[in-house]
């Protein structure tokens, strides 16, 4: 890790922030040490997640939110998690042209990142990039997810407040909510509320949310027209109210504990997976192992047991070494 890069980021140099996020996203050498060093400087940014299906107006709303926060004198970081390119794994950047209101504003930092094919819509790198924004001193971090209709549960572990956007009279959106995303929203936003069917959509949402409480917080439904800014003040007030609830109830700390626990599990899965891939290669590679399975010389369970054996032996040895000596 470059100590100079870390120092420059902590000193508020935007070029260093950009370089750090690039290193994090690319998983370049030294990125883990960088993220570990950032940890001590995090904990102040408020993180807001914006999710919903394509066409719901997420990018337009995020643009308006960023401008509203800037008008309050706050610094803003936007992470737009885009669909991965099937060829490069990189982010598809076309969506960013709608982030126009804050163009040229050095206190609004917009970064597109690739979802890298992860089912939850957010890569591990996204959470690390949030830490970079936080350590840099950004006041509000807005994460806009890919919104491809899958259950984007990862956003719960990443954001303090989650807003789910729904279009009026959208069957796809309602099906998405029924599929599980209903459970993750702290605020539900019926965007494009000037369209016909908005009242019906609000009614449907109210019925679906009836009786659902997230702790002592009852999810709210806000109607907005992102293009004109209608409903934006009410949405901002709801975000602030949810933040107050999180802080006063202790839920904010509990969210952080849950987030860290999941992060540790994710890192362990990644690291263990890399170790096991290396063991597979040492045994001749996956193709050779599969050839033996197809030839009925072995089976998948036996192969998995054999590949795991060195790791299990190492852990067992570690446990024996740390056992208290008999008196």
Q: Do 129 and 141 contact (CB within 8 A), yes or no?
A: no
- CATH architecture, domain 40-249: 3-Layer(aba) Sandwich (3.40)
In this prediction, residue 174 carries a pLDDT of 65
Mean pLDDT to the nearest integer, 190-205: 88
CB atoms within 10 A of CB 277: 12
Q: Name the pLDDT band for 124 (thresholds 50, 70, 90).
A: confident
State what percent of residues in the chain have pLDDT above 70. Answer: 82
Return the H-helix or E-strand segment holding 140.
strand 140-144
In this predicted structure, what is the pLDDT of residue 303? 96
320: confidence class by pLDDT, cuts 50, 70, 90? confident
* The predicted structure's pLDDT at residue 177: 64
pLDDT band per the 50, 70, 90 thresholds, residue 321: confident
DSSP of 281-292 = HHTT-HHHHHHH
SS3 117: coil
Residue 151's pLDDT is what? 47
Closest of 231, 240, 304, 245 to residue 272, by C-alpha: 304
- pLDDT at residue 60 tops 70: yes
pLDDT at 260 over 60: yes
Confidence check: pLDDT of 117 > 70: no
Q: How far, in Å, CA of 38 to CA of 274, rounded? A: 24
In angstroms, what is the C-alpha Rg of the chain? 23
Residues contacting 148, CB < 8 A, separation 6+ = 53, 54, 83, 121
In whole angstroms, give the CA distance from residue 263 to residue 114: 19
If you count them, how many residues does the chain have?
327
Q: Where are the domains of the chain?
A: 40-249, 258-321
State residue 12 phi and psi, 5-degree precision: 90, 25
Shortest CA distance to 58 belongs to which of 173, 199, 184?
A: 173
Q: Are 221 and 190 in contact (CB under 8 A)?
A: yes
Burial class (CB within 10 angstroms; exposed 0-12, middle 13-18, buried 19+) of 300 = exposed
Whether 99 has a pLDDT exceeding 70, the answer reads no
3-state helix, strand, coil in the chain (%, to 5): 55, 15, 35
CA distance 185 to 49: 9
Among 2-11, 111-120, 131-140, 266-275, the least confident range: 111-120
Could you tell me the sign of the dihedral formed by the alpha carbons of 44, 46, 49, 55, in that order? negative
Edge to edge, the sheet with strand 220-223 lists: 108-114, 76-82, 140-144, 46-52, 161-166, 187-190, 220-223
Q: How far apart are CA 142 and CA 292, in angstroms?
A: 50
């Amino acid at each position: 890790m470059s100590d100079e890069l870390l120092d420059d980021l902590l000193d508020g140099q935007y070029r260093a922030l950009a370089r750090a996020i690039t290193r994090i996203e690319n998983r370049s050498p030294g990125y883990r040490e960088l993220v570990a060093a950032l940890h001590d400087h995090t904990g102040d940014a408020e993180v807001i997640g914006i999710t919903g299906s394509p066409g719901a107006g997420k990018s337009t709303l995020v643009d308006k939110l960023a401008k509203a926060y800037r008008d309050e004198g706050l610094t803003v970081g936007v992470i737009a998690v885009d669909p991965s390119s099937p060829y490069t794994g990189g982010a598809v950047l076309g969506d960013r042209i709608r982030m126009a209101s804050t163009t040229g504003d050095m206190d609004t930092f917009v970064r597109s990142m690739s979802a890298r094919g992860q089912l939850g819509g957010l890569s591990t790198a996204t959470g690390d990039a949030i830490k970079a924004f936080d350590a840099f001193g950004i006041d509000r971090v807005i994460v806009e997810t890919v919104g491809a209709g899958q259950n984007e549960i990862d956003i719960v572990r990443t954001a303090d407040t989650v807003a789910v956007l729904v279009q009026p009279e959208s069957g796809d959106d309602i099906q998405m909510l029924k599929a599980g995303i209903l459970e993750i929203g702290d605020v539900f936003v019926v965007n494009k509320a000037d369209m016909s069917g908005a009242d019906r959509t609000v009614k449907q949402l109210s019925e679906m949310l009836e009786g659902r409480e997230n702790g002592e917080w009852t999810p709210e439904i806000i109607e907005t027209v992102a293009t004109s800014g209608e409903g934006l003040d009410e949405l901002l007030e709801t975000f602030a109210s949810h933040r107050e609830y999180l802080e006063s109830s202790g839920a904010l700390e509990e969210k952080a504990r849950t987030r860290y626990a999941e992060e540790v599990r994710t890192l362990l899965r990644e690291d263990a997976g890399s170790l096991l891939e290396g063991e597979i290669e040492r045994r001749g590679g996956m193709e050779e192992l599969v050839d033996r399975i197809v030839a009925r010389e072995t089976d998948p369970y036996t192969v998995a047991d054999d590949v795991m054996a060195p790791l299990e032996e190492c852990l067992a040895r570690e446990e024996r070494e740390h056992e208290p000596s008999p008196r």
